Amino acid sequence: MHIRSSRHALLVALTFAAALAASVAYAAPAADPSQVDPFPSSLEPLPPPTASATPVPAPTVRPAATPSVVGSAPQTSGAPPAAAAPAAKKDSAPATLFDSNMDFAIGGFGGVAVMYSRVAHTDGVQVCGEGAVIIDHALTFGAGGCGFATPVSGTRYTGGPDDVLQFGYGGAIIRYHFFSHRVVNLGVGALIGAGGVVIGSQLDAAGNKSKDPNDFKEKSTEAVFVVEPQIGAYVNFTRWSRGALLAGYRYASGVETKNMSWTDISGPTLGGALQFGWF
Cα–Cα distances in angstroms (integers) from residue 18 to residues 6, 12, 23, 27, 30, in the given order:
19, 10, 9, 15, 22
Please give the Cα distance from 84 to 27 (Å, whole number).
82
- Convert the pLDDT of each residue in 259-268 to its tens digit: 899 999 999 9
pLDDT of residue 30: 47
Q: Which of 15-19, 75-79, 108-112, 223-227 is predicted with the least confidence, judged by mean pLDDT?
A: 75-79
| C-beta atoms surrounding 156 within 10 Å | 15
Cα–Cα distances in angstroms (integers) from residue 1 to residues 7, 12, 13, in the given order:
10, 17, 19
Q: Is the pTM of this model over 0.75?
A: no
pLDDT of residue 50: 53
Query: Quick check: 99 pLDDT over 50?
Result: yes
Cα–Cα distances in angstroms (integers) from residue 121 to residues 98, 207, 256, in the given order:
43, 26, 17
Say which residue, 220 or 175, is predicted with more confidence: 175
pLDDT of residue 47: 55
Structural domains of the chain, with CATH = 106-278 (2.40.160.20)
Cα dihedral 98/102/106/110 (nearest 10): -20
- Convert the pLDDT of each residue in 19-34 to its tens digit: 555 554 444 444 454 4
CB-based contacts of 194: which residues, under 8 Å, 6+ apart? 169, 170, 171, 223, 224, 225, 226
Query: Quick check: 97 pLDDT over 60?
Result: yes
- What region, left, alpha or beta, does residue 171 occupy, with left being phi > 0 and alpha being psi -120 to 50 degrees? left
- Convert the pLDDT of each residue in 45-81 to its tens digit: 555 555 444 555 555 555 555 544 444 444 545 555 5
Cα–Cα distances in angstroms (integers) from residue 180 to residues 13, 72, 137, 154, 240, in the given order:
128, 38, 6, 43, 14
pLDDT of residue 52: 47
Q: pLDDT category, 91, cuts 50, 70, 90?
A: low
Query: Quick check: 118 pLDDT over 90?
Result: yes
